[in-house]
Structure formats: structure tokens, C-alpha cells
Amino acid sequence: MNREPLGVGIVGAGPVVQAIHLPTLARLPDLFAVRSIMDVSPDVAAAVSGRIGAGASATLDELLADERVEVVAICSPSAFHASQVIAAMRAGKRAVLCEKPFATDREQAEQIAEVSRETGVPVIVGAMHTFDPGWTAAVTEWESLGHEAHTIRSRVVLPPNARFETSATEVLTPRPASGLPDLDDPSVRAGMVSGGVMGLAVHDLPLIRRLLPATDRPATDDVEVVSASALSPWGYELGALVHGRLVHAVGALTEQWRPTWELEVLSDTASMLLEFPPSYVHAGSAVATITTGEKTVRFGPHAHNGYEGEWRALHAIASSGSAAAPGVETLIEDLVFAVDLASAAAGRVRQEEIR
Amino acid sequence: MTALNALNGSNALTVRVEPAAGLRVAAVTAALATLPLSYREAGRDAEVVVVSGEPGWDERVRAAARTGARGVLVKDPVPLPTAATLQAEVPDCVIVLAETWASHPLLRSAAEQFAEPIGRAHLIDARSVEPATGRSLRAVLFAQLRAVQNLGIGVVSLAIAAETPSSILGVGRSASGARIALSAARSDTSDGSLDLLLVGRAETIRLALSDSGAVRPGRAMLTSEADAHELPTAWQSPLRTSLLALHDALSTGTPTDQLREFTEAAVLLDPGAGPSAG
């Protein structure tokens, strides 16, 4: 490739940036060069950027004013995503990558879509599984064979993130220890389940929505949460009927060491199982198997995971224009699907009998 | 003399397989053929009778007892909320249930060896896939519930949260407060196995149980903070396990106590109830 690597500005310098995005970008030196990192803590921004020879910005305005910054990654807390994405678009950057979720509600998401149309700056959301090459290969095959999912089941059981972060980098800002939540408090249970959907299940919800029959999209007007529960010490159980199809998801953070991240898809005549590696380990793609009555076909593992996939996608749309970007309407519907599920699950879990 | 008797099978119990709709006689005969020192096929006066678990199985048990049977094996019994009183009606006859997953040899091993971590689980998630021509999905959920019980987990509530033509979800609680989720779906890709995941704060337990007719071993793995412990595989079908359990019960005079929990499961998962809150 003859082109110069694209200059990157990163907003937020927490463990996800340190353990995921910077090691990923280190594998893509022909495509990207990190120019500036901004964090609410100037010391953290300086320390993280100093590791890779980038500049540190004290404010978002300063980062956006840096002409060497051509694409922006928004990796701050979710509440700031929408305003920062819009600011980056209005600053005339070539493309924006925003960590999931890219907004907190439909209104914010539509504002982003409007500004994207107005400025011509494309945005992609860092829901890494949607860019996982194991998933993309398998779902292409699934759809080409015309299978129609009637049941989707997700299982995510993970050891503490710190176990993986420290294998991916030397983390500068370890996560604070948290105490055991009081699950007798309905608001704690509701917050846990809502947070579980928006923080963990959200990785797979775009996949689930895509697996619903195309004629039924958008799914958001026919979502009924039929079960929800908060799990000690942290986790969720969630059952929903989406256009009459069963979606069941469990997620839990534990102290045991074995990571499990599975998505099982069933139709009358076929099944698909996706097994994803944990987020932080840079262990390549998911392995997907599609089974029919005649045979089982495996997809993956590929050398790179969905994080590398999303950065590659960002480079592609920044290089070739917004026409190559995912449809903003899809991003909005994915977001609303997640928000609606989280809200309904939180409402149900408040009423839950836990004894 | 005793050893010689064992060698030539003269200590074997006589057994009769009662033909009935829904009973896979060939599967039972095949399992009996693997136990030539324990069982010997006989006619009407057999000591042990194998009956179908299709509706009316309680009456078949009573009939077998009336003919003098010392033991009855009920193959794939359907839910029967009145089963608990059956044993008292036939006090001289040992009743053993042969169930799809609940009789799996690995389940008993896991219940014994992983008892403490099982008791610490906060989530019990059971999943299976049933072929299009298989059992009703409620029957599948019942079989899952029985497997959970046989892990030593007391189930105090269970409700159908969702039911479609292709899938079913039941949720409930254990006596220790763990969330229980049971789900089944239809697909021709079914291999008949049950996937059980138990999640605790510091441990997970995962079991894969093959179906009742398969000798294919299951798998049981306990993972903790620092290591993992996998139970040895047993190349034995749940049906053969049940036949051995009946033989042991008759040989040692040890009573069985399956009917109480079976009845509790039948009451919890009322076959006639519709979807309810989860």
C-alpha cells in the first residue's frame, strides 16, 4: 500500500483502549498511526500516548483541532458518545469509530444520523462481533442457504476482565475493585440487568437482529421480554420473544478461569454455533459451525478478531467514502433494539421474586 | 458355589419386557444383552418387568406387581402427579424409572463429586434440541427438570415463560435461590444431548449428557479459579444404568426414592398450564 497511514485520535484512554485498541492498531501500521490521545485525566492521557509516541490532548477540542487526526475513535463513557461523535463529524474528520453503544436512545442516534448525512462523515459502531470474520463468513453461508432462525440462545460467562487485560498489555489504570451488589434492592437488580444488556449482551444483539427474517425488520416494535433475572455476583438471564421467535441470553462475570462466549442459532433444518474468544486476548476470530442433516461446516478461526475487523472497516470507509459505511438506519435499529430490551428487562426484574 | 453361580448367570434375575406402544423393545433388549450375569429373559413369571412409561404406566406397575414381580423398570415415564403414592400401593415391588437424561450415569457422579459447588451455583441453565418428530417440548422440559433434580438441586418453582411451535422456555428457582432456566427447541440437527451449565461466583460446571439410548459418554467439567476437574467418562447408556440400579436395589434390599422427586417435578411443570410470568 502506497498511501500514508491514517492519523488517529482516540478519545478516552481507559483499559479498553490500552488493552484492545492500541495493541490492535500496533498490528496495522500500514493503515493507521495514532497521533493524539485525550483523556479526562491529563496524566493518563500523557502516559498512554507517551508509550506509543503520540501526542496527548487535554480536551476534545484540542484533539479535533489537530490536523494530523483524520479519523477519531470515541472510547469514552457511553453518556458522552453522541455529543463527541457529532463534534468529530462537525470537525470534518474523515470517519468516526464509536464504541458501543453509540448513543443512549433513539433521539440521540437520529441526531448522529442527521449530522452524518449533513457532513458526509461516516460512523461505524464498535460492536466487535459484527466485524468478526468468523461470524461474517458463517452468516453469509447461513443466509445463502435460506435458513430461518426460530430460536437464538446466547451464553457469556467470563472471568474478570483484568485476567485478560494484563495478558494484552501492561494496564496503567486498573479497574477499581467492586463490592458485592445488594440484589435485595430492586433498583440494583434493574441496573445490573440493564447494564448487562447494554454492556455485554449488546455485542451479540446486532447479530441476533440480523438473524431474524429480513421481512420482519425492524424488530423493535415486536419485542416482549418474558423472563429476566439478576445473577449474583454480576450477571443477567433474559428471555424474549421477538416476532414470535425465542431469544434467550445469559451473561455472568465470575472468578473462575474458563471463558465461554457462545451464540447458538436454530432453524428447522440447520443450526449454527458461534464460539467467540474473550474481548481482550487478541486470539483471532470466532469459530462458527453450521450443521445440517448432511454435514457440519466450520468457519474460522481467522487470524484477526472483530476489533481488527472494525478498524479495517474504518480504514475502508475513510479511504473510499461513506458509501462503503454500514447503513445508519441499521445502527439506529440495533441501538433501539438493545435499549428496548434493556428497559423492558429492567422493568421486569424490579418485580422479580428472588426467594 | 456362589462364584460359579455368578459365572454361569444363575444369580441373574429373570426379566420380561412388556410390549407396548411407545416402548422401544429392541433398545431394552439390547441393553439387557449387555447384562447377561444380571438378567435373564423369561416369560410371564419374571421377577422383573420392564414397562412403557406412556400414559397409564402406573397401572402397568400395579399389574406387574399383581403377577408377582419383585421389580419394575418404567421406561421413559410421562409426568404423573400421583406417582408418589404408587410405591406404597406395591410395597413388595421396587420401582425404578429409566429416564432420558435423569438416569445418565454421569449425573450421579457429578451430584456426588461436585455437590458443594452445585450448591453454590447461582444459575442453572439447561438447553437441548429436539428433532421435529421427537417428544413434545413440554416433555423435553420435564426431562430437563428431572436431570436438574438428579444433580441434587431442589427445585421450588418453575413456570413456562414462553412457548412457540419451535421452542420453549421455563424459568424458576432452586431451594437455595439459584435462577433456573430450561429451554428446548426443535431442529433436525438434534443429537439428543442435554447441555447443562451451572454458574457460581467462583466455579462453573458444565455437563453434556447423551440421550437415553446412546452409549456415547457424557462430559462433566468443573472449572474453578485455578484449575479444572473432569469426571471420568462412563461408556454406559442411561437405560443400562437404570437396569443395574434395579438389580442392585433387589440384590441389596435397598429401597429407591425416585418417585417423590418425580412427582414434585410433575406438579411443578403442570402439562396443562399455559405461559406464565418469568
pLDDT in the model for residue B128: 97
pLDDT value of position B11: 77
Count of positions (residues) in chain B: 278
A77-105: buried (b, 16+ CB within 10 Å) or exposed (e) per residue? Answer: ebeebbbbbbbbbebebbbbbbbbbbbee
| Range in A132-141, A236-245, A312-321, B197-206 with the lowest mean pLDDT | A312-321
Is 80 exceeded by the pLDDT of residue A325? no
Is A244–B122 a contact, with Cβ atoms under 8 angstroms apart?
no
Domain boundaries A133-305+337-350, corresponding CATH code:
3.30.360.10
Lowest mean pLDDT: which of A36-50, A274-288, B2-16, B141-155? B2-16
In this prediction, residue B1 has a pLDDT band, given cuts at 50, 70 and 90, of very low
The set of residues, in sequence order, having a beta carbon less than 8 Å from that of A197 and lying 6+ positions away, is A205, A236, A238, A338, A341, A342, A345
CATH class of B2-100+238-268: alpha beta
Write out the residue limits of the CATH 3.40.50.720 domain(s) in chain A: 6-130+310-326
Please count the other Cβ atoms lying within 10 Å of the Cβ belonging to residue A71.
24
Note every long-range contact of A283-286, with CB atoms under 8 Å and residues 24 or more positions apart, other chains counting: A285/A132, A285/A133, A285/A134, A285/A135, A286/A129, A286/A132, A286/A134, A286/A135, A286/A138
pLDDT value of residue B277: 47
Concatenated DSSP letters for B121-188? -SEEEEEEEE-TTS--HHHHHHHHHHHHHHTTPPEEEEEEEEE-SSEEEEEEEETT--EEEEEEEE-T
Instruction: Provide the pLDDT for residue A167.
Output: 79
- Nearest-angstrom CA–CA distance, A110 and B230: 51
Summarize the confidence of residues A25-41 as an average pLDDT: 97
Distances in whole angstroms, Cα of residue A33 to Cα of each of A12, A21, A67, A213, A281 = 17, 12, 13, 40, 22
The domain spans of chain B are 2-100+238-268, 105-230
Q: What is the pLDDT of residues B229-250, one digit of tens each?
A: 999 988 888 999 999 999 999 9
What band does A351 get if pLDDT is binned at 50, 70 and 90?
confident
Residues of A in CB contact (< 8 Å) with B are 150-151, 153, 155, 157, 226-229, 231-233, 235, 237, 239, 241, 244-246, 248, 250, 252, 254-258, 260, 264, 266-271, 291-293, 348, 353-355
- Taking an 8 Å cut-off on Cβ atoms, the answer to whether A239 and B228 are in contact is no
Chain A positions in Cβ-Cβ contact with residue B199 (cut-off 8 Å): 157, 231, 235, 250, 252, 254
What is the least distance, in Å, from the CA of A164 to any CA of chain B? 14
Which of A225, A248, A263, A273 to probe the B interface (max B CBs under 10 A)?
A248
pLDDT of residue B26: 87
Mean per-residue pLDDT of chain B: 91
DSSP A165-180: HHHHS--SSPPPP---
How many beta-carbon pairs under 8 angstroms link A with B?
Answer: 138
For domain B105-230, the CATH superfamily is Dihydrodipicolinate Reductase; domain 2 (3.30.360.10)
Across the interface, whether the CB atoms of A354 and B129 are under 8 A apart is answered no
ipTM value: 0.92
Of A132, A98, A101, A125, the residue nearest A10 (C-alpha): A98
Position A257 scores a pLDDT of 95
- pLDDT, tens digit (0-9, with 9 covering 90-100), for B245-269: 999 999 998 877 899 999 999 999 8
Best residue of A225, A256, A266, A354 to probe chain B, by most B CBs closer than 10 Å = A256
CB contact under 8 A, A293 and B132: no
Best probe of the B interface among A254, A271, A350, by most B CBs < 10 A, is: A254
Give A199→chain B minimum CA distance, Å: 19
Which pLDDT belongs to residue B2?
47
Please compute the mean of the pLDDT values over residues A228-240 and round it to a whole number. 96
> Residue A32, by phi and psi: left (phi above 0), alpha (psi -120 to 50) or beta?
beta
The whole-number pLDDT of residue A139 equals: 97
* Chain A residue numbers touching B206 (CB-CB < 8 A): 260
Greatest C-alpha distance within chain B: 63
Which homologous superfamily is A6-130+310-326 in?
Answer: NAD(P)-binding Rossmann-like Domain (3.40.50.720)
Per residue in A124-166, pLDDT (tens digit) is 999 899 999 999 999 999 999 999 999 999 999 999 877 787 7
Give the pLDDT mean for A190-215.
Answer: 90
